[in-house]
Amino acid sequence: MTRYQHLARLLAQRINQGLYVCGERLPSVRALSREHGVSISTVQQAYYLLEEQQLITPQPRSGYFVTPHQSAHPMPALTRPPQHPVDVTQWEAVLEQINMRQQPGIMQFGDCTPDLTQPTLKSLWKIISRIGQQQDIRLLRYEHFYGAPELREQVARLAIDSGCHLTPEEIVATNGCHEALSIAIRAVCQAGDIVAVESPGYHGILQILHGLNVKVIEIPTDSQTGISLEALELALDQWPVKAVIVVPNCNNPLGFIMPERRKRALLALAQRFDIAIIEDDVYGELAWEYPRPPAIKAFDSDGRVLLCSSFSKTLGPGLRVGWVVPGRYLDRVLHMKYIVTGFTVQQTQFAVAEFIRQGCYPAHLRKMRQLYQRNLEAFTAAVLQHFPCGICVTRPQGGYLLWIELPEVVDTAKLNKRMHESGIQIAVGSLLSASGKYQNCLRLNYGQPFNASTEEALKKLGEAIQQAMEEDLVELEK
């Protein structure tokens, strides 16, 4: 670390600690130069760096001031993952995260479970119970390998909203979106192949790639517009990439919706390099905008997009009702479906199909979108209030996941372990990178009802972050 970087970090820590409060004037360049025994230019460079980080703001002829909290808070910049294929690892850390979730009484900021308590789900419970009463023998039988016809019909109907005109025959039901992704990936690549992903990206996808010994190239991704097409093009030029996997609508974890022209441009790029696109649309129905944004699949003229989705984020993951629309890869996807699980559970397919058929789904979605949008405001405000200055927070355009960049000195894996003792769990940023980047980042689920205990947990989290920063400062000042 150079002198000016060291000084900048020291000043950042003081700001974050509240030694210099928001809006306060910072010491003059000359005063700092004397205090720390460094040159004027070193101090100036340190100030430039902090300005770049939006921590301080220069005012002409008055000096530097601590940047006040803004409603338009700083957002994460375009990410910069390593630009070469890597092997994913970190399975142990993912398993640890999953196991933590299984402990009762934990404040779950770390997982991706939606709010399951809303009254718009009541009809679903009724339907589930009635299906049992009817003693429909199809529940127990091997039935349609592709999935229940009534479910595939309803999925085809819903797909119209995302711009996709599908027949039920193009849809294969799966055990959640996870199986859909697993078989879609298997359908287009093999061990040793290279796949491009958003960075940060959903750890489930990364672990599937890991399990298949597929290498991953992480592509820089913008928190408002999505995967960098320029960086992707460079990667496609340089490496024999087989497919690109994206979550273009209400991205996990960044919350963006790719603008339509970028979706079309991504498809054109895939066509030019003749690669497949695996599109995870699992949060697509939860966009604030109405009508919902189109899937890339909507523009797919040559069947190269494998659209994966489920009702896990809208109705409940325990149902395990997902699907894949594999386009030209249908035969291969069917084979992979067969070798992975053979058949999909029947009852929940029937229940979800009936819930949609009865017209309960749009009202439920409307309710959930409103709820999550309200939650987002409350969560963001609480995070900005309780977390130290100098953090970047995403502005999701749908879904219920918030991505937060903390100062680089904070290791969120350590933070997670510390918080676990207080009954709070976060999603550790480094799990969402094949190369283990984003160690200073975390993902929060704001889908749960926002109440006093949520706020208290966020406050505790903020304090722990503050403490981690102070410990680093003590180290620095030694």
Candidate list 84, 268, 338, 366; residue touching a second copy; CB under 8 A:
338
Peptide bond into 291 cis (omega under 30): yes
Q: The tokens of 108 are what? A: 């779950």
- Please tell me the count of residues contacting a second copy according to CB under 8 A: 67
Q: Which stretch binds a second copy (CB under 8 A): 220-228, 230-238, 339-347, 361-369?
A: 339-347
Candidate list 93, 265, 334, 381; residue touching a second copy; CB under 8 A:
334
CA 302, CA 271: separation in Å to the nearest integer?
9
Q: 476 by DSSP, 3-state: which?
A: helix
Q: How far is the CB of 77 from a second copy (least distance, A)?
A: 31
**Of the two residues 296 and 351, which places its CB atom closer to a second copy in the complex?**
351
Asked if 306 and 278 count as a contact pair (C-beta separation under 8 A), the reply is yes
**Of the two residues 96 and 470, which places its CB atom closer to a second copy in the complex?**
96
Q: Which stretch binds a second copy (CB under 8 A): 73-81, 158-166, 185-193, 457-465?
A: 185-193
Strands 322-325 and 305-310: antiparallel
Q: How far is the CB of 446 from a second copy (least distance, A)?
A: 17
319 binds a second copy (CB under 8 A): yes
CA 457, CA 443: separation in Å to the nearest integer?
14
401: which residues sit within 8 A by CB, 6+ positions away?
112, 252, 253, 255, 283, 443, 444, 445, 446
**Of the two residues 77 and 345, which places its CB atom closer to a second copy in the complex?**
345
Q: Which stretch binds a second copy (CB under 8 A): 150-158, 330-338, 384-392, 415-423?
A: 330-338
CA 236, CA 217: separation in Å to the nearest integer?
10
What are the E-state strand segments in 311-453? 322-325, 392-393, 401-405, 424-425, 427-428, 441-445
103 binds a second copy (CB under 8 A): no
Q: Which stretch binds a second copy (CB under 8 A): 275-283, 340-348, 371-379, 393-401?
A: 340-348
What binding mask, one character per residue, do residues 199-218 give for a second copy by CB under 8 A, x or -?
Answer: -----x--xx-xxxx-----
Asked if 383 and 458 count as a contact pair (C-beta separation under 8 A), the reply is yes
53 binds a second copy (CB under 8 A): no
User: Interface residues for a second copy in 159-178 (CB under 8 A)?
Assistant: 175-176, 178
CA 136, CA 110: separation in Å to the nearest integer?
38
Candidate list 91, 273, 288, 299; residue touching a second copy; CB under 8 A:
91
Nearest to 419 by CA among 461, 388, 462, 467: 461
DSSP state of 160: G
User: Interface residues for a second copy in 342-381 (CB under 8 A)?
Assistant: 342-348
For a second copy, the binding residues (CB under 8 A) are 91, 94-95, 98-99, 101-102, 111-113, 116-117, 121, 125-133, 135, 137-145, 175-176, 178-179, 182, 186, 190-191, 204, 207-208, 210-213, 315-320, 334-336, 338-348
